């Protein structure tokens, strides 16, 4: 389980290495649950305090290519160092890489490396005491086919997948079930989340959301119900879904037990363990940060799954925020009002001016951890983070010669190139590196993220073993909307024969304004290995921060997180009540008393949990919701809400 060991993670910048999990993590054997205003995950009763990752490569973090693990490890490190404990990650997203959907809308399988990629990311999260909300699909399934890098995306296939019955059934049997059977009980899983904002696909919303097609709520609920039932059938984990907004008695009412079970043909396992709802103050002044969960009149606890990751000031965005709030106050309000947790949007958002990023959320995570450490901390860690004068190092080993696809190193960032003269950066090619590498400088612009290519740099034109200045005229990017740059990329590919070498980048500037100096841990750009043959893997092509060659040594700062005593946990699986011990130092749990109390306050059963553990038969207990109250040495030591089915 999380939280019972202490370890030190050291990031060896000089070697360009980032530590992750070294061995596969064992699957958990305890039932997770939503208990009042806390989630119980692998025996830990915690308040969720974290951020959205969403993706590092949109729709491409899993599939047939190896995962680029470094960005994930960086994100886990930053969240943990700030005192957080959770991230939200998108899996299939728009199905451009996984699952495989044919022209009949049927799933034929998942990516060849999807499960291994997921396991690698989850193992790393576990090693930091981070739990992951695993979001399966997004409304992006029905976006127009307008991006040149969507080679495997097919709108018609996706539409059939969502609307024709065989699409869902083939996903359950050939997509979701193999994943759940392999890693469904991974202890780093917070929950399996069916959709990100499926309400965007409704006929009333699709056009305004830029979608090419729409589907009725019945299809959304049918999918959600089947996924939730499969999660509960195959795992000990929880099921949820990412509901678009806090509109009272609107979207919420579609996800009741009755509607989900009816949509699943009466399957009793088709239910959500908790509601995960998003809130953006530009759309609605009814707010979870101003109202307790009881205000919404729901039958499940609520987690705030998305909200802006920065202070909300009405004058800084369009449309205007409907009210003001600091990000620190938002996280405190989520905790104080009784929600399950809060995860801001996002660590990878391009529009940081509007939505913020990790740096704008970091103070809120640190503040909440300082005040409520015992409710947040999962694992005791000492993290040694390098800092100082660093650069971004790209290491390439036997990169295949360019065929039709270039690999990429890039960042999503809102920039205005209009009226500017030059994009400039410093580059260092390690002596002995190959010279047969071409680098394209590319930007993506506008809401459609259109490609605009600049010049091609040939490494054989640059001296090795010294820093050189590279200047790219803005005029070389052509006539696209350079006032709305969304992404900056270095595309690279070997010329003629495979390439091996090390290249450093530093101090990227737009005229005199710095875009990146790579001195903050986790600031390196995302790596996308685009060779569809699978010959390139993240094992032989990597990006990391490293000391800038020829400069002073990198310094380190240590961040320590200590563990908390764990209260006893009660869970119900089938007709068996299980008590897991772990009461903390100084508490006598040799004769724990356990009461099963109905919602009218009547005790319906009493048990003794010797040593703080035990399993008790509930065959004679009627179906319904109950509270399990646990006491030891005359003192109440824990309570859990359970459902007997």
- Higher local confidence (pLDDT), 553 or 629: 629
The confidence score (pLDDT) of residue 18 equals 38
Residue 464 backbone zone (phi > 0: left; psi -120 to 50: alpha; other: beta): beta
Peptide bond before 182: cis, by omega within 30 degrees of 0?
no
The confidence score (pLDDT) of residue 84 equals 96
What confidence tens digit (pLDDT) does each residue in 610-626 have?
A: 777 778 888 888 887 77
Phi, psi of 629 (to 5 degrees): -105, 130
Of the pLDDT bands very low, low, confident and very high (cuts 50, 70, 90), residue 554 is: low
What confidence tens digit (pLDDT) does each residue in 322-359 have?
A: 889 999 999 999 999 999 999 999 998 878 888 999 99
Rounded average pLDDT over 368-389 = 86
The confidence score (pLDDT) of residue 197 equals 97
Domain ranges in the chain are 6-386, 390-547, 569-644
Q: Which class for 518: exposed (0-12), middle (13-18), buried (19 or more C-beta within 10 A)?
A: buried
The confidence score (pLDDT) of residue 556 equals 47
What is the 8-class DSSP label of residue 525? Answer: P
H or E element at residue 159: helix 155-163
The confidence score (pLDDT) of residue 557 equals 45
The confidence score (pLDDT) of residue 640 equals 73
Q: Which residues pair with 636 in a beta bridge?
A: 631
The confidence score (pLDDT) of residue 404 equals 64
CA-based end-to-end distance of the chain: 27
Q: State the DSSP string of 593-638.
A: EEEEEETTS-EEEEEEEGGG-EEEE-TTSPSEEEEEEEEETTEEEE
Of the pLDDT bands very low, low, confident and very high (cuts 50, 70, 90), residue 453 is: confident
Phi, psi of 299 (to 5 degrees): -100, 10
Of the pLDDT bands very low, low, confident and very high (cuts 50, 70, 90), residue 21 is: very low
Burial 460-487 (b: 16+ CB within 10 A, else e): eebebeebeebebebeebeebebebbbb
What confidence tens digit (pLDDT) does each residue in 498-535 have?
A: 999 999 999 999 998 999 999 887 788 888 766 544 44
Q: Angle at Cα 191 formed by Cα 186 and Cα 195, nearest 5°?
A: 130
Regarding the domain delimited by 390-547, which CATH topology (the fold level of the hierarchy) does it fall under? Answer: Jelly Rolls (2.60.120)
Of the pLDDT bands very low, low, confident and very high (cuts 50, 70, 90), residue 10 is: very low
Of the pLDDT bands very low, low, confident and very high (cuts 50, 70, 90), residue 550 is: confident
The confidence score (pLDDT) of residue 553 equals 56
pTM of the model: 0.75
Q: State how far the Cα of 189 lies from the Cα of 239, in Å rounded to an integer.
A: 11
What confidence tens digit (pLDDT) does each residue in 584-596 have?
A: 434 455 578 888 8
Highest mean pLDDT among 181-195, 450-464, 540-554: 181-195
Q: Which class for 549: exposed (0-12), middle (13-18), buried (19 or more C-beta within 10 A)?
A: middle
Peptide bond before 346: cis, by omega within 30 degrees of 0?
yes
Rounded average pLDDT over 64-91 = 91
Phi, psi of 157 (to 5 degrees): -60, -45
- Higher local confidence (pLDDT), 425 or 414: 425
Q: Which residues pair with 390 in a beta bridge?
A: 547
Rounded average pLDDT over 396-419 = 85
The confidence score (pLDDT) of residue 506 equals 96
Least confident of 280-294, 562-576, 598-612: 562-576
The confidence score (pLDDT) of residue 248 equals 61
Work out the angle between the directed axes of helices 327-337 and 358-376 (0-180°, nearest 10): 30
Residue 298: C-alpha distances to residues 330, 392, 563 (Å): 21, 48, 33
pLDDT value at 379 more than 90: no
Residue with tokens 């109950």: 626
What confidence tens digit (pLDDT) does each residue in 188-202 have?
A: 999 999 999 999 999
Residue with tokens 């692998």: 42
The confidence score (pLDDT) of residue 116 equals 95
Least confident of 221-225, 408-412, 415-419, 575-579: 575-579
The confidence score (pLDDT) of residue 249 equals 60
pLDDT value at 15 more than 90: no
469 token code pair: 């200045």
Decide if 408 contacts 488 (C-beta within 8 A): no
What is the 8-class DSSP label of residue 321? Answer: P
514 token code pair: 């710095």
Widest pairwise Cα distance in the chain: 82
The confidence score (pLDDT) of residue 452 equals 87
Strand, coil or helix: 433: coil
195 token code pair: 């959709």
- Higher local confidence (pLDDT), 69 or 126: 126
Helices (DSSP H) in 22-150: which residue ranges? 69-81, 114-127
Mean pLDDT of the chain: 86
- Considering the domain delimited by 569-644, tell me its CATH architecture: Sandwich (2.60)
Decide if 246 contacts 322 (C-beta within 8 A): no
Least confident of 161-170, 454-463, 525-534: 525-534
Q: State how far the Cα of 445 lies from the Cα of 442, in Å rounded to an integer.
A: 10
Rounded average pLDDT over 307-332 = 88
The confidence score (pLDDT) of residue 68 equals 79
Q: State how far the Cα of 161 lies from the Cα of 176, in Å rounded to an integer.
A: 14
Strand, coil or helix: 141: helix
Of the pLDDT bands very low, low, confident and very high (cuts 50, 70, 90), residue 292 is: very high
Sheet strands (E) in 74-207 = 86-93, 100-101, 107-109, 131-138, 189-196
Of the pLDDT bands very low, low, confident and very high (cuts 50, 70, 90), residue 269 is: very high
Rounded average pLDDT over 64-69 = 83
- Higher local confidence (pLDDT), 177 or 455: 177
What is the 8-class DSSP label of residue 467? Answer: E
Rounded average pLDDT over 568-582 = 75
The confidence score (pLDDT) of residue 582 equals 52
What is the 8-class DSSP label of residue 174? Answer: I
pLDDT value at 560 more than 70: no
Class of domain 6-386: alpha beta
């Amino acid at each position: 389980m999380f939280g019972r060991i202490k370890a030190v993670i050291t990031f060896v910048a000089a070697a360009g290495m980032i530590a992750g999990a070294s061995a596969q993590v064992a699957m958990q054997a305890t039932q997770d649950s939503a208990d009042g205003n806390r989630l119980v995950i692998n025996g830990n009763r915690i308040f969720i305090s974290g951020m959205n990752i969403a993706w590092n490569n949109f729709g491409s973090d899993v599939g047939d290519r190896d995962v680029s693990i470094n960005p994930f490890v960086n994100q886990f490190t930053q969240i943990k160092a700030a005192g957080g404990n959770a991230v939200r990650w998108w899996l299939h997203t728009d199905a451009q890489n996984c699952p495989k959907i044919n022209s009949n809308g049927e799933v034929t399988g998942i990516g060849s490396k999807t499960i291994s990629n997921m396991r690698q990311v989850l193992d790393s999260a576990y090693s930091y005491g981070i739990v992951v909300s695993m979001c399966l699909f997004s409304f992006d399934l029905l976006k127009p086919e307008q991006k040149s890098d969507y080679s495997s995306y097919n709108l018609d296939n996706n539409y059939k997948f969502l609307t024709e019955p065989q699409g869902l059934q083939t996903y359950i049997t050939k997509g979701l079930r193999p994943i759940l059977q392999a890693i469904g009980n991974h202890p780093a899983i917070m929950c399996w989340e069916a959709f990100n904002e499926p309400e965007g696909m409704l006929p009333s919303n699709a056009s305004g959301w830029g979608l090419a097609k729409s589907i009725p709520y019945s299809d959304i609920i049918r999918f959600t119900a089947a996924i939730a039932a499969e999660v509960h059938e195959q795992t000990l984990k929880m099921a949820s879904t990412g509901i678009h907004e806090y509109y009272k008695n609107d979207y919420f009412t579609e996800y009741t037990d009755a509607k989900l079970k009816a949509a699943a043909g009466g399957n009793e396992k088709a239910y959500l363990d908790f509601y995960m709802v998003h809130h953006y103050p530009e759309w609605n002044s009814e707010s979870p940060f101003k109202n307790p969960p009881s205000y919404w009149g729901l039958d499940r606890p609520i987690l705030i799954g998305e909200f802006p990751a920065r202070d909300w000031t009405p004058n800084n965005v369009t449309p205007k925020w409907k009210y003001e709030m600091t990000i620190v106050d938002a996280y405190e309000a989520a905790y104080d009002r009784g929600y399950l947790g809060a995860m801001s949007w996002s660590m990878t958002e391009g529009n940081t001016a509007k939505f913020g990023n990790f740096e704008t959320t970091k103070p809120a995570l640190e503040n909440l951890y300082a005040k409520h450490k015992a409710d947040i901390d999962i694992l005791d860690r000492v993290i040694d983070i390098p800092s100082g004068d660093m650069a971004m190092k790209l290491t390439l080993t036997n990169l295949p010669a360019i065929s039709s696809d270039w690999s990429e190193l890039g960042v999503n960032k809102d920039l205005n190139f209009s009226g500017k003269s030059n994009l400039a950066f410093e580059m260092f090619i390690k002596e002995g590196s190959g010279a047969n590498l071409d680098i394209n400088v590319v930007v993506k612009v506008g809401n459609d993220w259109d490609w605009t290519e600049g010049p091609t740099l040939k490494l054989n034109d640059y001296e090795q073993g010294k820093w050189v200045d590279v200047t790219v005229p803005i005029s070389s990017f052509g006539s696209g909307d350079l006032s709305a740059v969304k992404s900056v990329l270095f595309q690279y590919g070997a010329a003629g024969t495979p390439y091996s070498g090390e290249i450093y980048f530093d101090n990227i500037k737009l005229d005199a304004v710095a875009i990146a100096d790579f001195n903050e841990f986790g600031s390196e750009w995302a790596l996308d290995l685009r060779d569809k043959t699978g010959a390139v893997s993240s094992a032989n092509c990597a990006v990391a921060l490293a000391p800038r060659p020829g400069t002073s040594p990198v310094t380190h700062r240590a961040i320590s997180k200590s563990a908390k005593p764990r209260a006893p946990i009660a869970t119900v699986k089938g007709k068996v009540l299980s008590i897991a011990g772990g009461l903390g130092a100084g508490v006598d749990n040799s004769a724990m008393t356990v009461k099963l109390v109905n919602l009218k306050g009547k005790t319906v059963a009493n048990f003794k949990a010797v040593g703080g553990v035990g399993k008790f038969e509930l065959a004679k207990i009627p179906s319904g919701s109950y509270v399990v109250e646990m006491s030891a040495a005359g003192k109440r030591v824990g309570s859990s809400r359970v459902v007997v089915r």
